[in-house]
Amino acid sequence: MVLLLLSILFPMCFGVFVIGRRGGRVGALALGGIVISLMINISALLFARGGLSVYVGTFLFALALDSLPRMLMALAPVLFLLTFVFLLGAGKNDAKRARLFGFFFLTLGALNAVYASANLLTFYMFFEVVSLLSFPLVLHDGTERARRAALIYIGFSFTGTALVLGGMKLAGMEAIESFTAGGVALSEPHNQLAFLLLALGFGCKAGLYPLSAWMVPASNESPVSVGALLSGVVAVMGVLGIVRVSYQVFGAERLSGGWAQTVLISLACLTALMGAMLAYREPILKKRLAYSSISQLSYALIGFLTFTKLGFIGGVLQVFFHACAKSGLFFSAGAVQEQTGFLRVSEMKGIGRDMPLTMGCFALLSLSIVGLPPLGGFAALWELSRGAFVYGGALGSLCVAVMLLSALLSAGAFLPVAASAFFPGKDFFACVNGPRLVGWRVLIPILVLSAAVLVFGIFPGVFSGVGERLFATISGGMS
Amino acid sequence: MMKFLMPVAVLLPFFSAPLFALKRFRSIRALKALTYTVVLATSAMVLILCAAYDGQMLKLAHITNLLTIGLNVDGMSRVFGCVVSILWPITTLYAFDYMKEDHKKQRFFSFFVLSYGAAVGVAFAGNLITMYLFYELLTLATLPLVMHKMDDMARYAGKRYLLYSIGGASFGFIAVVFTANYGGANAAFSLEGVLDASLVAGHEQLLRTVFTLAFFGFGVKAAIMPLSGWLPTASVAPTPVTALLHAVAVVKAGAFACIRLTYYTFGTELLKGTFAQFIPMAAALFTIVYGSARALRTNHLKRRFAYSTVSNLSYILLGVTMMSATGLMASAQHIISHAFVKIALFFCVGAVLEKEHKEYLDEIEGIGRRMPVTFACFTAASLALIGMPPLPIFFSKWAIGESAIELATGWGYVSVAALLVSTVLTALYTLSIVTRAFFPLGNPQVAVQKRTETRSMTAAILLVTVMMVLLGLFSGTIHTTLARWLIGGAA
């Protein structure tokens, strides 16, 4: 219990401490802090027993670790660590770095609290806290546009949480008391509607249409490190919310075949397709990446919402590999921007000669997003399609078709970028071998993430095993 | 003994008011001493009465043989009495700092104390006619406070306030007349209503119409649409007035009067399921969304929170129109939680106005550095207003939503939807202020900026914020206490 509290409070306190710091050593300090935080998280996963629960009136607030968020709790600080390494190389001229690091830490603390929440009410509360604490990250650049994007972000976040609140009210008090494997039998008559509202509300963070419009401006107007965080961790928190609600509150078995499931899967299909199409025709690289996140996360949602074992495994794989690939892509885009100032895809011809490693990784990571073997994205896509077939029916086939079509569109969106970076064509003769503006450290996270996508893509068994065990524990005995 | 404490508590502020008016104070210290003595003594008496009074009506006087003036402390009186008696001394602390450079302090504080008496009178009124009396007195006592500055704006605001309030109360008076004829305006308030069933029989529609008129009449003070126009205008008053009277005492007296009218006079039996329930409910629903939307569009900070108050008062009225035990409980809970949250917000905005002379949203870029404590409290109170658990408004909003769902008709779901829409708007209109205060555009200046907070103002702000947080953490206790006070235990 102490470790669990420490995993929440340490990053929070450290964050407040960092915000107040001035001077150049902030980066090293933050790096030290995140390593400690990672170690606390891991020891909490290994040794934490029991939990903490407080009644406020009839409302129960509870923290305890169950099996579902363990993987996230171990991996989220790793992504933060990589982000910080990236920030050591890029963004040195940022006068407000201390603030950026500080709010990263605060967000991490709140995220740990979300992972450790043992009932829906607590989850909801910390979910809001994450939205609030990541809000300053989005408006970090301090421009009028960034502020606008941040207000859009927070407006959508609160629309999402309002829907969650409405869903919780409809589901009644039993629903918010605890997360139970297989769900609880609820006495309220509006289970389907309540589930729909809750899933839409959490889906706001996961980029599920119709509440996905915040993602693109928020990723575009903020530093790339924040964009990576939004796609890799914050959006995943929304997915976690949907999984929690469907498997551990209502119960997958009870929801299976209901109209809410059909509506949600259809929405996820729509989102996947729309996101991919919008990504395809978007000229600005960061926006293109954000649209693609919307699309890719919907794959994972489709997987989880089919309520099949294969779909669940596919969802787990997709969440992991997408987080790796997309953060890596954001970092590469950030490195390019820092070095050349280019934002538009059309400007990026020939930069492969200047930044071969960065753009090489960019190519590899985009291939994973597209879903080519032997990269991670393929493993995920494979399991997801199998899950969709098990789900069956016209909608199941539609899911498979949508995923394949979106994969094609992703290929159209990202592969030409990589191709023209290395092969700009005959009429290209600019030589941009200027001084290196971007530090070599930015390469570390990009390389690590590419390696992860490659290695775990060849051996996806680690994560599919995790997914299988998780499904067995939380579904309450479904096959 | 207790019985006679009641009139003393109500009348002490009234009788001390001439002292303020007649004596010429040499120093601010003497004025302070007198104000604090009266306010603290009244608060102490009110709290003792709330804790220990047994609920027997004390008849003070008869006006003709139909009407009795009487005082009583029942459950609802306790709710309103406690809120008022806790917040009045804190506002006094704030007001002395705020009014430091004002030349008409003496007048201000005499009416400030006088309105305290009127508010306690409204709380402790034992029947409808007594409440009506104190209600009118409250209007008159607070009018000079609204017009305090005596410039054109203030006079206009005062006139408007008077017109709306007196006009509204006259509709309330219709209800007084009818209850006198159909049972008893002098009968002590009781939860089943005071109308005589044998007299009512055959005249139900008439009485429901009267109720609806009177609900809007008293609803004027609670700023229900379309009668809310006076409240945003009245925010020209000095901030202690805006904070205490236009977020707590006066406006909640309006909501309180609506509760008295609905639950304790007409009785929910007569009204439930008829147009007398749905017309007020529709108005409240509209006001909830309208108030929040206008708040978002208003750039003047005090007016923005005035609109926010308009919206939140209708949360209370929505609870009232549920016409069920849970609805009554929910609105009482929201009266308490909103009082503390909104007074904290107004104190902060007032501090900005007084110390920095900034009134508009776009003037406060980066102000959080100069007033860190104030804006930390402001942020906490904003989160509370949005409805973050475990801060108090989450629980009262939840209770209102729950009683709406209990209604089990389309109205219930529309109500929940309105609450949720308003939540989103609330997040936007509060957080856009926090954003500007703490995250100014461009690169913040590195130079250390001088703090502009002062001690006693900040102390008052901190005090209400801490109380607000505690209120959230102990909302369970509050809920059971309310259940004991209002509906005899079973919750």
At B96-119, the pLDDT tens digits run 888 888 778 888 888 899 999 999
Average pLDDT for residues A69-85, to the nearest whole number? 90
Judged by average pLDDT, the poorest of A298-312, B158-172, B232-246 is B232-246
| Burial (Cβ within 10 Å: 0-12, 13-18, ≥19) of residue B119 | buried
Please determine, for residue B201, whether its predicted confidence score (pLDDT) is greater than 50.
Answer: yes
Other CB atoms within 10 Å distance of the CB of residue A341: 9
CA distance A313 to chain B (A): 34
Average pLDDT for residues A8-15, to the nearest whole number? 90
Judged by average pLDDT, the poorest of A273-277, A311-315, A351-355, B71-75 is A351-355
Which pLDDT band holds residue A24 (cuts at 50, 70, 90)? Answer: low
- The predicted-structure confidence for A175-185, as pLDDT tens digits, reads as follows 888 888 878 87
Side-chain half-sphere exposure of B202, counting CA atoms within 13 A:
3
Q: Do both B487 and B432 map to the same domain? A: yes
pLDDT of residue B32: 87
Number of domains comprising chain B: 2
pLDDT of residue B269: 85
Average pLDDT for residues B458-473, to the nearest whole number? 92
Average pLDDT for residues B423-445, to the nearest whole number? 85
**Between B331 and B235, the higher pLDDT residue:** B331
Q: Do both B153 and B13 map to the same domain? A: yes
Does A187 contact B at CB distance below 8 Å?
Answer: no
pLDDT of residue A432: 57
Q: Which residues of chain B lie closer than 8 angstroms to A193, CB-CB?
A: none
Average pLDDT for residues A408-412, to the nearest whole number? 92
Whether A232 maps to a domain, the answer reads yes
Do A55 and B476 count as a contact with CB atoms less than 8 A apart?
Answer: yes
Please determine, for residue A113, whether its predicted confidence score (pLDDT) is greater than 50.
Answer: yes
Please determine, for residue A431, whether its predicted confidence score (pLDDT) is greater than 60.
Answer: no
Q: Do both B346 and B426 map to the same domain? A: yes
Distance CA B468, CA A243 (A): 34
Q: Which of B221, B237, B269 is the last residue of a domain?
A: B269
Q: Do both B12 and B43 map to the same domain? A: yes
Whether A479 maps to a domain, the answer reads no
Q: Which of B269, B298, B322 is the last residue of a domain?
A: B269
Label residues B160-190 b or e (16+ Cβ within 10 Å = b). Answer: bbbebbeebbebbbebbebbbebbbbbbbbe
Which pLDDT band holds residue B462 (cuts at 50, 70, 90)? Answer: very high
Residue B150 Rama label (left phi>0; alpha psi -120 to 50; beta): left
B136 alpha carbon, distance to own chain's centre: 16
Sorted by sequence, the CB contacts under 8 Å of residue B3 that are 6+ apart come out as B56, B58
Distance CA A79, CA A330 (A): 12
Which of A58, A61, A95 is nearest residue B390 as measured by Cβ atoms?
A61
Please determine, for residue B56, whether its predicted confidence score (pLDDT) is greater than 50.
Answer: yes
What SS3 state is found at B384? Answer: helix
Q: Which two tokens stand for residue B483?
A: 């259940």
**Domain, as residue range, for B426:** 272-491
Do A158 and B438 count as a contact with CB atoms less than 8 A apart?
Answer: no
Which of A22, A157, A169 is nearest residue B398 as measured by Cβ atoms?
A169
Q: Which residues of chain B lie closer than 8 angstroms to A61, CB-CB?
A: 389-390
Which of B398, B417, B431 is nearest residue A154 as measured by Cβ atoms?
B431
Q: Do both B333 and B396 map to the same domain? A: yes
B388: nearest CA partner in chain A? A125
CA distance A159 to chain B (A): 6
Q: Do both B56 and B96 map to the same domain? A: yes
Q: Do both B418 and B317 map to the same domain? A: yes
Please determine, for residue B491, whether its predicted confidence score (pLDDT) is greater than 50.
Answer: no
Which of B416, B428, B478 is nearest residue A151 as measured by Cβ atoms?
B428
Q: Do both B185 and B262 map to the same domain? A: yes
Do B421 and A61 count as a contact with CB atoms less than 8 A apart?
Answer: no
pLDDT of residue B184: 64
Q: Which residues of chain B lie closer than 8 angstroms to A58, CB-CB?
A: 476, 479
Distance CA B70, CA B187 (A): 9
A98 touches A22 (CB < 8 A): yes
Do B427 and A154 count as a contact with CB atoms less than 8 A apart?
Answer: yes
Q: Do both B237 and B314 map to the same domain? A: no
Distance CA B174, CA B341 (A): 34
CA distance B420 to chain A (A): 5
Q: By C-alpha distance, which of B387, B367, B468 is closest to B427?
A: B387
CA distance B470 to chain A (A): 11
Average pLDDT for residues A16-22, to the nearest whole number? 83
A374 alpha carbon, distance to own chain's centre: 22
Whether A193 maps to a domain, the answer reads yes
Distance CA A345, CA A329 (A): 13
Sorted by sequence, the CB contacts under 8 Å of residue A262 that are 6+ apart come out as A395
Does A59 contact B at CB distance below 8 Å?
Answer: yes
Distance CA B368, CA B440 (A): 9
Sorted by sequence, the CB contacts under 8 Å of residue A105 that are 6+ apart come out as A11, A12, A14, A15, A18, A30, A33, A34, A37
Q: Which of B269, B287, B306 is the last residue of a domain?
A: B269
Please determine, for residue B122, whether its predicted confidence score (pLDDT) is greater than 60.
Answer: yes
Please determine, for residue A428, whether its predicted confidence score (pLDDT) is greater than 80.
Answer: no
What angle separates helix A235-243 from helix A120-138, to the nearest 10 degrees?
170
Distances (CA, A) of A165 to A195, A258, A421, B421: 11, 21, 47, 11
Query: Rounded to the nearest 5°, which phi and psi values hold at B358?
Result: -115, 135
Q: Do both B280 and B320 map to the same domain? A: yes
Do B423 and A158 count as a contact with CB atoms less than 8 A apart?
Answer: yes
**Between B265 and B450, the higher pLDDT residue:** B265
How many percent of chain B have pLDDT more than 90?
A: 44
Average pLDDT for residues A38-54, to the nearest whole number? 86
| Burial (Cβ within 10 Å: 0-12, 13-18, ≥19) of residue A479 | exposed
Q: Which of B364, B407, B431 to mutate to test the interface with A (most CBs of A within 10 A)?
A: B431
Do B390 and A124 count as a contact with CB atoms less than 8 A apart?
Answer: no
Distances (CA, A) of B263 to B36, B56, B58, B268, B467: 36, 19, 21, 6, 29
Which of B417, B420, B428 is nearest residue A155 as measured by Cβ atoms?
B428
Whether A398 maps to a domain, the answer reads yes
Sorted by sequence, the CB contacts under 8 Å of residue B47 that are 6+ apart come out as B81, B82, B85, B86
A152: nearest CA partner in chain B? B428
Average pLDDT for residues B43-70, to the nearest whole number? 83
Q: Which of A60, A156, A161, A163 to mutate to test the interface with B (most CBs of B within 10 A)?
A: A161
Which of B395, B420, B439 is nearest residue A166 as measured by Cβ atoms?
B420
Q: Which two tokens stand for residue B491?
A: 């919750």
pLDDT of residue A23: 65
CA distance A16 to chain B (A): 13
Number of domains comprising chain A: 1
Q: Do both B451 and B464 map to the same domain? A: yes
* Widest pairwise Cα distance in chain B: 78
Name the strand (E) or helix (H) holding B169: helix B152-181
Please determine, for residue A30, whether its predicted confidence score (pLDDT) is greater than 80.
Answer: yes
Residues 412-451 of B with CB under 8 A from A: 416-417, 420-421, 423-424, 427-428, 431-432, 435, 438-444, 446
**Domain, as residue range, for A276:** 2-474
Average pLDDT for residues A9-28, to the nearest whole number? 84
Whether A165 maps to a domain, the answer reads yes
CA distance B317 to chain A (A): 20
Q: Which residues of chain A lie closer than 8 angstroms to B388, CB-CB?
A: 125, 128-129
pLDDT of residue A278: 93
How many percent of chain B have pLDDT more than 70?
A: 97
What ipTM was predicted for this assembly?
0.88
Q: Do both B253 and B296 map to the same domain? A: no
Query: Rounded to the nearest 5°, which phi and psi values hold at B139?
Result: -60, -50
Which pLDDT band holds residue A78 (cuts at 50, 70, 90)? Answer: very high
pLDDT of residue A262: 92
Do A169 and B431 count as a contact with CB atoms less than 8 A apart?
Answer: no
Other CB atoms within 10 Å distance of the CB of residue A211: 21
